[in-house]
C-alpha cells in the first residue's frame, strides 16, 4: 500500500535518495534565507519595524539549510546538484510569484507594495511548508535520525505562518486589503501548479534511484495529479484565508539556535 509514511521511509533508508532529498531541501531553505535577508535590508523606511522579523525569518531558513546539510554529513554524504525541474523557489519566480532575484540584487529600497507582495507570497508558501512538516512530524517525530530535525523545523514553519497571518491582517487594516486578496489568490493558483510539477519531478527522480516498478510510479503520478485537481477545485482556498493566529509576534525575537546539529 502506498502511503506518505512508507514512501518517505524508503527515501530516508537509501543513501542516494536521502542525499537528493536533503540537497533539494537545503537548497530551497538557503534560497529562502538569502531572499529574506535581502528583503530585510531593502525594506522601505515606512515599514522598518518589519525588518527584524524578516531578518529572523531569513535566519530560520538558513538554519534549516544547515540542518539538512548536517543530516547529510552525519551519513558521510555531500550535497548534490539540484535538478532544475525540482527547484520550487525558482519555478515560482519564473511564474512571476514573489519578488524577483534581479530586484533583490539591486541596492534600491523596496516599496510598500513590494512588501505586501512578499508577505502574501510567503503566506501561501509557508502554508505548504507547514502542511508538509506537520505530515512528517505525524509519522517521523520519533525517528532516531531525522525526528529532532523535523520537529524543530516544523515549529519554525508554524511561527512563519503565524507571522504572515498577523502582518497581513495589520496591513489589510492599513488599507492594503484588496492588493492582499488579489495577490494571495494569484500566488495560490500558481503555487499549486508549481507544487504539482515539482512533486512529479521529485518522484520521478526518486523512482529511478529506488527502481520503483512502473505501476507504482504511475500510481504516484496519478495521486499527485489528483491532489492538484482537488486543490484547483477549491483546496487552494486554505492557502489564502487570514485569521489572527494564536502565536502572536511569533518572529519577535532572535532565531533559536540548533546546537544539536
Q: What is the mean pLDDT of residues 125-152?
A: 95
Mean pLDDT of the chain: 94
Q: What is the mean pLDDT of residues 30-55?
A: 96
Report how far residue 58's alpha carbon sits from residue 35's, in angstroms, rounded to the nearest whole number: 7
For residue 185, name the pLDDT band (cuts at 50, 70, 90): very high
Report how far residue 94's alpha carbon sits from residue 81's, in angstroms, rounded to the nearest whole number: 20
> CATH: 3.40.50.10440, 1.20.1260.10, 1.10.3720.10, 3.40.50.300. Which one for 4-239?
1.20.1260.10
The whole-number pLDDT of residue 258 equals 65
Report how far residue 53's alpha carbon sits from residue 208's, in angstroms, rounded to the nearest whole number: 41
The whole-number pLDDT of residue 98 equals 87
Please identify which residue in the block is written with the cell numbers 498577523: 166
What cell does 135 get?
505530515
The whole-number pLDDT of residue 2 equals 73
For residue 249, name the pLDDT band (cuts at 50, 70, 90): very high
pLDDT digits (tens, 9 = 90+) for 190-248: 999 999 999 999 999 999 999 999 999 999 999 999 999 999 999 999 999 999 999 99
What cell does 108 get?
534600491
For residue 115, name the pLDDT band (cuts at 50, 70, 90): very high
Q: What is the mean pLDDT of residues 126-138?
A: 96
Report how far residue 90's alpha carbon sits from residue 77's, in angstroms, rounded to the nearest whole number: 25
Lowest mean pLDDT among 9-13, 142-146, 255-259: 255-259
For residue 3, name the pLDDT band (cuts at 50, 70, 90): confident
The backbone torsions φ and ψ at residue 163, rounded to the nearest 5 degrees and listed phi first, read -60, -45
Segments making up each domain of the chain, as ranges: 4-239
The whole-number pLDDT of residue 214 equals 96
Q: What is the mean pLDDT of residues 103-127?
A: 96
CA torsion through residues 55, 56, 57, 58, sign: positive
Q: What is the mean pLDDT of residues 6-10?
A: 93
The whole-number pLDDT of residue 259 equals 59
Q: Is 260 helix (H, G, I), strand (E, B) or coil?
A: coil
DSSP sequence for 212-241: --HHHHHHHHHHHHHHHHHHHHTGGGGGT-
pLDDT at 187 over 70: yes
Report how far residue 105's alpha carbon sits from residue 127's, in angstroms, rounded to the nearest whole number: 26
The whole-number pLDDT of residue 229 equals 98
The whole-number pLDDT of residue 1 equals 57
pLDDT at 145 over 70: yes
pLDDT at 254 over 90: no
Pair 117, 100: CB distance under 8 Å: no
The whole-number pLDDT of residue 87 equals 95
Q: 70, 38, 76: which is closest to 55 by C-alpha?
A: 38
CA torsion through residues 188, 22, 207, 14, sign: negative
Amino acid at each position: 500500500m502506498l502511503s506518505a509514511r512508507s514512501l518517505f521511509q524508503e527515501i530516508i533508508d537509501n543513501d542516494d535518495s536521502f542525499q537528493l532529498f536533503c540537497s533539494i531541501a537545503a537548497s530551497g531553505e538557503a534560497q529562502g534565507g538569502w531572499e529574506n535577508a535581502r528583503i530585510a535590508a531593502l525594506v522601505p523606511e515606512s515599514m522598518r519595524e518589519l525588518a527584524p522579523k524578516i531578518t529572523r525569518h531569513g535566519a530560520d531558513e538558513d538554519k534549516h539549510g544547515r540542518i539538512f546539510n548536517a543530516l547529510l554529513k552525519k551519513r558521510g554524504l555531500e550535497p548534490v546538484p539540484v535538478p532544475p525541474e525540482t527547484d520550487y523557489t525558482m519555478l515560482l519566480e519564473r511564474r512571476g510569484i514573489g519578488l524577483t532575484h534581479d530586484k533583490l540584487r539591486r541596492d534600491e529600497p523596496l516599496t510598500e507594495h513590494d512588501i505586501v507582495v512578499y508577505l502574501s507570497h510567503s503566506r501561501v508558501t509557508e502554508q505548504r511548508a507547514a502542511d508538509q512538516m506537520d505530515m512528517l512530524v505525524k509519522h517521523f517525530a520519533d525517528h532516531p535520525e531525522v525526528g529532532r530535525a523535523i520537529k524543530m523545523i516544523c515549529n519554525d514553519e508554524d511561527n512563519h505562518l503565524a507571522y504572515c497571518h498577523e502582518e497581513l491582517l495589520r496591513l489589510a487594516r492599513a488599507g492594503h486589503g484588496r492588493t492582499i486578496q488579489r495577490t494571495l489568490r494569484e500566488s495560490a493558483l500558481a503555487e499549486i501548479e508549481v507544487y504539482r510539477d515539482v512533486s512529479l519531478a521529485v518522484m520521478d527522480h526518486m523512482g529511478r534511484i529506488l527502481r520503483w516498478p512502473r505501476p507504482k510510479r504511475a500510481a504516484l503520478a496519478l495521486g499527485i495529479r489528483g491532489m492538484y485537481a482537488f486543490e484547483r477545485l477549491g483546496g487552494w482556498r486554505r492557502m489564502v484565508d487570514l485569521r489572527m493566529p494564536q502565536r502572536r509576534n511569533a518572529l519577535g525575537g532572535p532565531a533559536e539556535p540548533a546546537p544539536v546539529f
